[in-house]
Structure 1
Amino acid sequence: MFHSFDSGSERAKMLEAARRRDFPEQFQVDHVQWCDTVRQMLSTDPEDRPTARELLNNEDVRSDSDDNDDDDDDDDDDDGGVVVSLADREVTNQTADCTGLSGRTLCTCNKSCFPKARHI
């Protein structure tokens, strides 16, 4: 969550605080636009959480992602593979059609979408 940890116990304390939606002061100052989004994502009620599509359309997320794209240019896949967004998948009767190839997220389909896609 944009925060470095000096020890495992510090990490545990920070994650527990995040569950309570109690973010570090510096995070709230440095990433004010993310506070509401992260709080929504951590909601215990699934209906209150944003969908992947909503996150991809969120101006703050898009803006932050665009800022980071310049930094990631050196990290491209060696195989020139296509990277597919889960939010752009259409799932019907256990089959997946991965479309919309903008973005650098991972495809979670059954590896039949694109031969060179990076899968998890």
Structure 2
Amino acid sequence: MTEPIPLAGIVLDAPEPPALADFYHRLLGWKIVQADENWVSLEGPAGSSKLSIQREPHHQRPTWPSKTDVQQMQIHLDFEVTDLEATQQRAVDAGATLMDWQPQEEGVRVLADPVGHIFCIFIAGW
């Protein structure tokens, strides 16, 4: 068997990478380690991955839940938290939108970042 290849990071598209990076910096507290108008990278805590944002001027917001005739979500991010309500408020204060449809009543919240990328916050063990 060959050696496993580690995931170095996730890259999201956005019309203005610095603005979306600022949102994730405020939400997650991750350090911005590389930045220009076309590419921004944030570094997570030890054991985490890197999150980068690249310029895509034609980015379209995905829908949640999905519909067949509009842009569908291609990926979503999951963040494990200890205080769901406080983290949800922190996300909304940073510019996130709580999605109308939630797949579960407890333990998990689905939100969208300012350009529409879906992410979930959830309580450990949920």
Same fold (TM > 0.5): no
Structure number with greater CO (CA < 8 Å, separation at least 6) is 2
Q: Which of the pair is proportionally richer in strand? A: 2
TM-score (structure 2 length as normaliser):
0.29
TM-score (structure 1 length as normaliser):
0.30
